[in-house]
Structure 1
Amino acid sequence: MDSRSHEQKDDILSEELTVDWRGRPSSYKKHGGAKAAVFVLGVQAFEIMAIAAVGNNLITYVTNEMHFSLSKAANIVTNFIGTVFILSLFGGYLSDSYLGCFWTMLIFGFIELSGFILLSVQAHLPQLKPPQCNMLTDGDECIEAKGVESLIFFVALYLVAIGSGCVKPNMLAHGADQFSRSTDSNKLSTYFNAAYFAFSVGELVALTLIVWIQTHSGMDIGFGVSAIVMAMGLICLVSGTIFYRNKPPRGSVLVPIAQVLVAAFVNRTQVSQSNSQMFHGTQNEHWSCISMSNETGRLCHTDRFRFLDKAYMKKQEGNNNNAKEISPWRLCTVNQVEQVKILISVFPIFACTIVFNTILAQLQTFSVSQGSVMNNHITNSFRIPPASLQAIPYILLIFLVPLYDSLFVPFARKLTGHDSGITPLHRIGVGLFVATFSMVSAALMEKKRRDSFVNNHHTLSIFWITPQFLIFGISEMFTAVGLIEFFYKQKLKGMQSLLTAMTYCSYSFGFYLSSVYVSLVNKITSSSNHGGWLGDNDLNNDRLDLFYWVLAGVSLINFLNYLFWARWYNRSSNSSCKLHLHSTEQGFPNAHNSA
């Protein structure tokens, strides 16, 4: 039996039981597969379409109609985006532990919809907003929203944030749940590419059509369109109910993790044992690759984080005790400990993507500012809004993603033998490496733009900065999809939604880190007569190009750091998981029974 056969059996054993919408065991012939995943892809496209249209143009509404100052408005927008991404952890936890993906999406989808409706109502009714500036008679200053006006606005905004944050991780996890990791591995990889394609389409429509409606027909109509789009997403979700395979919740996923940490601390004075009988939860003497129950699958013992091994070590005087009489807070199973090891192991990979999203933050802030001081005229009467530059990579990706899946993946699969063409870790690495060149391009173009204006008083066309958006779009296709696939395929039973939510937390941390970089660079480069590279609020006086070069260097260092952790992850995952052919075939449960 070769290693690939062992891996296939491991995947079969690790499959979780799924149910249909009535709670009965699902059928692989009637439920799941591409027909079910299509409905989830529809939900994803509609949801991102609705939320992106609000998030990308929210600062316009906050400053022009709610009359908050620019600094307050910027904080409102960044806090809103950060809340959406942070709440994805709560949505993933709630789904895995108590509600399941479908019900979490349905409940919080309606909460998000109610937020869009309330935003539209407030934007439409003058009595729910502060008076317009030109209607004031006692001065030029606009009256900032306060009292009931402010309360309704923030209630509506954070209804959207709560709903979107809890829906996002479950869309990806629920769509992937429609495929078997053992028999549909190729289709699962295709699904993740299709999910990113749906995301790109939604972003493209939001940044072009819906933003245009907001600009020309009013924010009340624009928010109303977002509400209609979100309602279409919920209709799409409910329409696929009878086709879904649903993974039932398994109770709090945090309690088993806490039990391992507590048990390891309680047993910290235990001496390491090599006798398999001293390990709780093992029946097979060949404990280097322990077979667990059919429902749980099997996890191999690894040498990483050996301090956690003491969580499953029995005391010698308690060898004959019944395991049921031992508190799970004092003694855990090997399988339980190994899952905690996996969870800890993925954190360095996650951390390496934070810098990647810091670069994304530059494209949504400084690169848009670049566009605002460039020539954005196409004709005398038509101009490109600088914010619409963010749509450029998505135009490329709606063509590139299908080509990647239909041409590159089959070609790479022949060379590597991997179902996805290249492994998720390789895919993340390619994206992190390419992202560096996005900042290199941004630095070169900003230097050219600044020199052209300062030396020759010539304003360059806005199209000069499109390469940095295009390069980052390609890198995002590799990194974002690779990270989602990497997290989902971890053998952590019942935690797929929570792990998927970590990808969104990376966005949040990346934006926060961007603020730290800006403040730190300004502080280091400031002098008595100069406020730093980014201190003048004028790109023609600032040195944004040098700031981009710093980020390019940070990105390259981050890529090298990622290579170290990716190799460490592979080495620590596989080095101690050595299968013994004789013991494995004797102790391996029947694959058909376990499925």
Structure 2
Amino acid sequence: MEDTITMGVGVGEAEKKRGGWISFPFIIGSTAGTSIGSAGILGNLIVYLTREFNVKSINAAQLNNVANGTSALFPIVAAIFADSFFGSFTVAFISSSLSFLGTVLITLTAIIHWLKPDPCNNSGSKLCMPPSKFQYAVLYGGIALCAIGFGGSRFTTATLGANQFKETKHQDTFFNWFFFTWYTASVVSITGVFYVQDNVSWASGFGIATVGNLIGLVVFLLGYPFYRPHNPQGSAFVDLARVLVASIRKWKSQLSFAPKDYYNEDVLVQPAAIPGERLRFFNRAALITDGDLQLDGSIEKRWRLCTVQQVEDFKSVIGILPLWSSSIFLSTPIAVQGSMTVLQALVMDRQIGPHFKFPAGSIMVIPLISTSIFLFFLDRVVWPAWSKLNNGKSPNILQRIGVGHVFNVLSMVVSAIVESKRLKMVHSNPTKAMSILWLLPQLALVGMGEAFHFPAQVAFYYQQLPQSLRSTSTAMISMIIGISFYLSTALINQVRWSTHWLPDDINNGSVDNLYWMLVVVGGINLLYYLVCSTLYKPSKV
């Protein structure tokens, strides 16, 4: 008996040591290693395919789009498995293991000569030997594992980290440091690993990315004794579907104002309640009608009756969709700007000093650096100062996202002005190119905007969606990125088809008009966001 009591006390003490900031180093260390591996493999994929696999540039770009799109969209799939079946830790571990296997395969293609075609001096031409089916299979297998693994682990790890904290302010701080680590590690990879790949060997560069992924996986596992467990609560998406179906089936039923007329599962634990007034149509899903309950009080037909909490969870998801849609049109201009900026960099003067020429593809490291610096500045300077001036209150999440929208529009304005100036210089003196340094202000503004809206969006979804959708909530921002990635491609294709702004040689085009169009789109989306955020009522789930 005494041993049992001692054991119970020991377990209780062990549980107290789980979660909180003691788990923080392991989550952040894992994020750093995975980010180095992700950027080191997928970030320079187009160059590797064209130089080492003799893939034509357009085909390489398409494969790159598929890989990055999959990496951005797969987190929502991983989140569903985490929330419904396996939990955040298990899904993050499996995903990290898959990404490690993928990095190993990609590295082997760079080391073993018969896993890639013979080298060709004119890569992508008809004279070059294309990869064999077996070589393609190994390559595609490695890319698929990397895309799925990196996509599945990143935001599931973020959810696991946020689950370690009970207070909102600590969750906000965690998300700031999570994204600071993600961006900083990506900067290290894009600069250091890319340099090794271009100047030493692809095998060495991919090897560094693989080791980074392995270290991240090991650190993640070492933290297991310190993680607070988060058990899955069944398929939340099935519950959401049940609310919709039950509401439609009872659309003729008259709503009641008596708590006894609504189904509450845990009436012995908490008082019976009625659904809120918002979106009242769906309250019918919890309304008890004839034949809904068995004699023992349990549900007779689960697709005709839901709990009050399930109805409120469904409403929280519906209520958040307008704000979520505004984020899609926030990210799409950023994605368009990213591709256009690289094209601009290719025709600008990239010489920095007498001995260094800035790689065009590495120009996108600027917003990563800007975001990393500004995240640190916000967390250590701006928010503490704001809190002192406002009696300990911090700016709410929706305000921070709104500021991010403003920075995004300003960035597009600066982009349009700079490109207009560049085109005038090209047309007046074709032999002289504008310095690539002119692109820095617009990219710095993008990074500053992301420091405001990116972590705030993840924290917003995490805090406002039901607990059963915790992993899904953090993956929603990745889903936004994936959708925006594909929308930006569609938008550029549409502009090329309907205007003359984007010829093959952008010196003969009007990319500044595209930027001004994005200013208009961003401005309209900002107004839309302001309306949605004003009307939004925070959920209490």
Structure-1-length-normalised TM-score: 0.84
Stretches of structure 2 that go unaligned for 5 or more consecutive residues are 1-10
Structure 2 partner of 1:21 = none
Contact 1:299 1:335 in 2 (8 A): no
Q: Is residue 486 of structure 2 the alignment partner of residue 503 of structure 1? A: no
Deviation at 1:278, TM superposition (A): 1.5
After superposition, residues 179-194 of structure 1 pair within 5 angstroms as 179-181=165-167, 185-194=168-177
Distance 2:347 2:495 in 1: 22
Deviations 1:210-247 (A, max 9, x none): 11111112222211111100001011111212111121
After superposition, residues 160-239 of structure 1 pair within 5 angstroms as 160-181=146-167, 185-239=168-222
Contact 1:37 1:176 in 2 (8 A): no
Q: Alignment partner for residue 270 of structure 1, among 236, 243, 253?
A: 253
Deviation at 1:144, TM superposition (A): 2.3
Structure 2 partner of 1:562 = 529
Whichever residue aligns with residue 520 of structure 1, its letter is: Q
Greater Cα shift, 149-158 or 213-222: 213-222
Structure 1 partner of 2:3 = none
Distance 1:168 1:135 in 2: 37
Distance 1:340 1:334 in 2: 10
Q: Is residue 23 of structure 2 the alignment partner of residue 56 of structure 1? A: no
Percent identity, aligned pairs only, is 29
Whichever residue aligns with residue 204 of structure 2, its letter is: I
After superposition, residues 309-388 of structure 1 pair within 5 angstroms as 309-315=283-289, 321-388=295-362
Q: Is residue 372 of structure 2 the alignment partner of residue 398 of structure 1? A: yes
Q: Alignment partner for residue 435 of structure 2, among 452, 461, 464?
A: 461
Could you say if the C-alpha distance between residues 543 and 282 of structure 1 is closer, same or farther in structure 2, counting changes exceeding 3 Å? same
Distance 1:243 1:316 in 2: 49
Contact 1:260 1:337 in 2 (8 A): yes
Deviations 1:439-473 (A, max 9, x none): 11111111111111111232111101111110000
Greater Cα shift, 557-566 or 127-136: 127-136
Could you say if the C-alpha distance between residues 26 and 207 of structure 1 is closer, same or farther in structure 2, counting changes exceeding 3 Å? farther
Contact 1:26 1:245 in 2 (8 A): no
Deviations 1:7-43 (A, max 9, x none): xxxxxxxxxxxxxxxxx67856411111211210111
Structure 1 partner of 2:234 = 251
- Structure 1 SS opposite 2:302: coil
Q: Alignment partner for residue 37 of structure 1, among 24, 27, 35?
A: 24
Whichever residue aligns with residue 47 of structure 1, its letter is: T
Structure 1 partner of 2:515 = 548
- Number of paired residues? 530
Distance 2:349 2:336 in 1: 20
Distance 2:154 2:309 in 1: 29
Stretches of structure 1 that go unaligned for 5 or more consecutive residues are 1-23, 285-291, 526-531, 578-595
Distance 1:299 1:208 in 2: 56
Q: Is residue 409 of structure 2 the alignment partner of residue 436 of structure 1? A: yes
- Structure 1 SS opposite 2:44: helix
Contact 1:533 1:546 in 2 (8 A): yes
Deviation at 1:339, TM superposition (A): 0.3
Deviation at 1:374, TM superposition (A): 0.8
Structure 1 partner of 2:501 = 533
Distance 2:30 2:191 in 1: 19
Q: Alignment partner for residue 302 of structure 1, among 258, 268, 276?
A: 276
Deviations 1:480-515 (A, max 9, x none): 111001011125122111111111000011111112
Structure 1 partner of 2:395 = 422
Contact 1:263 1:311 in 2 (8 A): yes
Whichever residue aligns with residue 512 of structure 2, its letter is: D
Contact 1:92 1:170 in 2 (8 A): yes
Contact 1:276 1:282 in 2 (8 A): no
Deviations 1:549-581 (A, max 9, x none): 1011101111111111111212x759xx9xxxx
Contact 2:293 2:300 in 1 (8 A): no
Deviations 1:272-314 (A, max 9, x none): 2223221111788xxxxxxx847xx998832222221110111
Q: Alignment partner for residue 106 of structure 1, among 93, 100, 104?
A: 93
Distance 2:434 2:127 in 1: 35
- Structure 1 SS opposite 2:387: helix
Structure 2 partner of 1:131 = 118
Deviations 1:139-164 (A, max 9, x none): 96212223101111101100111111
Q: Alignment partner for residue 79 of structure 2, among 80, 84, 92?
A: 92
Structure 2 partner of 1:148 = 134
Could you say if the C-alpha distance between residues 140 and 496 of structure 1 is closer, same or farther in structure 2, counting changes exceeding 3 Å? closer
Structure 1 partner of 2:419 = 446
Deviation at 1:319, TM superposition (A): 8.3
Contact 1:46 1:230 in 2 (8 A): yes
- Structure 2 SS opposite 1:327: coil
Supply the RMSD in Å over aligned alpha carbons.
2.4
Distance 1:553 1:128 in 2: 49
Deviation at 1:519, TM superposition (A): 2.2
Whichever residue aligns with residue 442 of structure 1, its letter is: S
Q: Which has the higher helix share?
A: 2
Q: Alignment partner for residue 381 of structure 2, among 401, 407, 430?
A: 407
Distance 2:55 2:79 in 1: 33
Structure 1 partner of 2:108 = 121
Structure-2-length-normalised TM-score: 0.92
Distance 1:99 1:282 in 2: 24
